[in-house]
Structure 1
Amino acid sequence: MRTESVELTVLCLIHKNGRYLLQDRIKNDWKGYTLPGGHIEPGESIVDAVIKVVVKRKKIIYRGE
């Protein structure tokens, strides 16, 4: 039986008043604009991963709107 490791990630499309939030990556491996995102840790829910990546790491205020 063949096994493979899988890395789960989240990307967040954030839209408000006709504007979108983009992340400008400066590392050489993935330079350029992208949606904010990151990895999902083992046992972490998708919602918790989004909150971690967007609210905590990007320091965006989440108001639950």
Structure 2
Amino acid sequence: MRTESVELTVLCLIHKNGRYLLQDRIKNDWKGYTLPGGHIEPGESIVDAVIKVVVKREKIIYRGE
């Protein structure tokens, strides 16, 4: 039986007025531009993980739309 560790993550494609939000990572392990994202915690839904990334980390106002 195979046992492997799995980490679930989300990436958020945020588009408004013809512009996209990108994250510029400066750490050497993943340097450069990427979409904002993060890990999904155990028991957390995908939707809640996306809201966490958008509201808490990127400081974007979420209006539930």
| TM-score interval for Structure 1 and Structure 2 normalised by the shorter chain | over 0.9
Task: Return the alpha-carbon distance in structure 2 between the equivalents of residues 62 and 40 of structure 1.
Answer: 19
| Structure 2: runs of 5 or more not aligned | none
Cα distance, 1:58 vs structure 2: 1.3
Aligned length: 65
Q: Under a length normalisation based on structure 2, what TM-score does the superposition of the two structures give?
A: 0.93
| Structure 1: runs of 5 or more not aligned | none
Cα distance, 1:34 vs structure 2: 0.4
Task: Return the alpha-carbon distance in structure 2 between the equivalents of residues 61 and 37 of structure 1.
Answer: 16
Cα distance, 1:64 vs structure 2: 2.5
Identity value in percent = 98
Q: Under a length normalisation based on structure 1, what TM-score does the superposition of the two structures give?
A: 0.93
